[in-house]
């Protein structure tokens, strides 16, 4: 199998050298070029035809977001953004993911151990991006009709990872303002989730918030699990409260989709679970627990996933009642909320 041909775009010569050293250490990756700014990158993309682009956000002449938007409109390809963990970095990275970037990495810094960890993560994400399906940002899905009845006494739990930001920017704006409460774990750093919730809130009829400890879940509200430090659980049923608890990584993540889904499983037929695009297998075991308890369970279809990892693991485990394309997911979720156990 030939190595992943990668083009690095960054205005810092030292950062280009660092990224090249990190990527070139992996025999499955070949750095085919480095560009100091988008206009040079445009010509190198045409000449070199890389498999993956790593793209800086702040650059002279044309910023990374503007360049990304042009790429995804004219020549969609897998892009991994190089970001910072600042508030500004979070906002811009979220917008990049909404526009169609596959994933992001934080710029390497810190101790040698930190940089070694960053290098391993960078290589993993570049290789995953090469296997992903490039898309030109989220499509606007039609608004779903009101569910009526104060949320129908149901609760929706959703898990997502790589590609999930783009998927959620498509799915959530299609939900009506009176939909059942929605709890979401999207794998994301702690500094990103508040900006993510605020950005979604501006796009949606439903209210979107970053979840807080002991918040009572309400119809018409989407709760995004805070990134990095805690797991999010539901306590006390459909009208229960959110619990944020510290703990070890579960299935390699904190917050973990598995933890959320297991906490929702006791609701049985009063719950609907959906697992969206993502790398790995987080959420498969939890979704199986939900299905065994009588909940309706859905997964995003392979052909509409950026990365068919988490949904695939759930399907292979027997946790999924039905696979659904992203464009049909809002309708399928609400239909499952309206119905008793049976066919979706």
Q: Is the pLDDT of residue 11 over 50?
A: yes
Contact 294, 270 (CB under 8 A): no
Q: What's the rounded Cα separation, in Å, for the pair 31 and 20?
A: 7
215 against 137, higher pLDDT: 215
List C-alpha distances in Å: 280 to 5, 91, 193, 324, 341: 23, 25, 20, 19, 29
Query: Which tens digit of pLDDT belongs to each residue from 103-159?
Result: 998 888 878 888 888 899 999 999 999 999 877 777 888 888 888 655 578 999 999
pLDDT at 81: 92
Name the pLDDT band for 83 (thresholds 50, 70, 90): confident
> H or E segment at 310?
helix 310-317
Beta-strand ranges (E) seen in 207-265 are 207-210, 221-224, 231-235, 241-245
pLDDT above 50: residue 340: yes
pLDDT at 304: 95
Confidence of residue 76 (pLDDT cuts 50, 70, 90): very high
User: CB of 141 within 8 A of CB of 330?
Assistant: yes
Which domains, from first to last, does the chain contain? 4-131 (3.40.50.2300), 155-338 (3.40.50.180)
Specify the pLDDT at position 148: 67
pTM for the structure as a whole: 0.92
Q: How far apart are CA 155 and CA 135, in angstroms?
A: 30
- Confidence tier at 86 by pLDDT (50, 70, 90): low
What mean pLDDT do residues 82-101 have? 82
Residues 6+ apart with CB under 8 A from 1: 28
Which residue in the block uniquely carries the two structure tokens 């805070």? 226
Residue 343: its pLDDT value, please? 44
Structure tokens belonging to residue 162: 């790589």
* Predicted confidence (pLDDT) at residue 169 exceeds the cutoff of 90: yes
Q: 259-299 pLDDT, tens per residue? A: 999 999 999 999 999 999 999 999 999 999 999 999 999 99
- The H-or-E segment that residue 79 falls in is strand 79-83
pLDDT in tens, 183-212: 999 999 888 999 999 999 999 999 999 999
Q: Which residues are catalytic?
A: 161, 187, 282
Closest CA to 261 of 241, 244, 284, 239: 284
Edge-to-edge strand list for the sheet holding 182-186: 207-210, 221-224, 182-186, 155-160, 271-275, 296-300, 322-324
- Give the CA count within 13 Å in the CB-facing half-sphere of 279: 19
The predicted structure's pLDDT at residue 151: 58
User: 47 pLDDT exceeds 70?
Assistant: yes
Question: What is the structure's pLDDT at 54?
Answer: 96
322: helix, coil or strand?
Answer: strand
Report the percent of the chain where pLDDT is more than 70.
96
**CA gap 186, 173 in Å, rounded:** 16
Let me know: does 322 contact 315? Beta carbons within 8 Å.
Answer: no
**Averaged pLDDT for residues 205-232:** 97
Which pLDDT value is given to residue 213?
97
């Amino acid at each position: 199998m030939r190595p992943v041909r990668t083009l690095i775009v960054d205005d810092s010569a030292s950062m280009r050298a660092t990224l090249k050293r990190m990527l070139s250490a992996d025999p499955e990756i070949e750095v085919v070029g480095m560009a100091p700014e988008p206009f040079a990158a445009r010509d190198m993309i045409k000449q070199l035809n890389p498999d993956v682009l790593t793209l800086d956000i702040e650059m002279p002449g044309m910023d990374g977001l503007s360049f990304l938007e042009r790429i995804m409109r004219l020549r969609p390809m897998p892009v991994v953004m190089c970001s910072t963990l600042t508030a500004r970095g979070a906002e811009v990275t979220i917008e990049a993911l909404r526009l169609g970037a596959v994933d992001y990495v934080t710029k390497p810094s810190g101790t040698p151990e930190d940089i070694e960890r960053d290098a391993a993560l960078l290589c993993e994400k570049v290789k995953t991006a090469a296997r992903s399906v490039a898309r030109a940002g989220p499509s606007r899905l039609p608004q779903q009709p009101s569910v009526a009845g104060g949320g129908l006494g149901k609760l929706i739990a959703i898990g997502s990872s790589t590609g999930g930001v783009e998927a959620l920017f498509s799915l959530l704006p299609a939900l009506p303002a009176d939909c059942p409460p929605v709890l979401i774990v999207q794998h994301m750093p702690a500094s990103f989730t508040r900006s993510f919730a605020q950005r979604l809130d501006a796009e949606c009829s439903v209210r979107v918030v970053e979840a807080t400890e002991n918040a009572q879940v309400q119809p018409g509200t989407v709760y995004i699990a805070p990134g990095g430090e805690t797991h999010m659980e539901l306590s006390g049923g459909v009208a229960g409260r959110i619990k944020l608890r510290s703990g070890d990584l579960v299935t390699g993540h904190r917050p973990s989709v598995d933890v959320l889904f297991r906490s929702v499983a006791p609701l049985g037929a009063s719950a609907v679970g959906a697992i969206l695009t993502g790398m790995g297998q987080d959420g498969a075991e939890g979704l199986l627990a939900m299905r065994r308890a009588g909940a309706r369970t859905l997964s995003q279809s392979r052909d509409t996933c950026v990365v068919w990892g988490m949904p695939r693991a759930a399907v292979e485990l027997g946790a999924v009642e039905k696979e659904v394309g992203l464009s049909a997911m809002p309708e399928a979720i609400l239909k499952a909320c309206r119905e008793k156990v049976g066919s979706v």
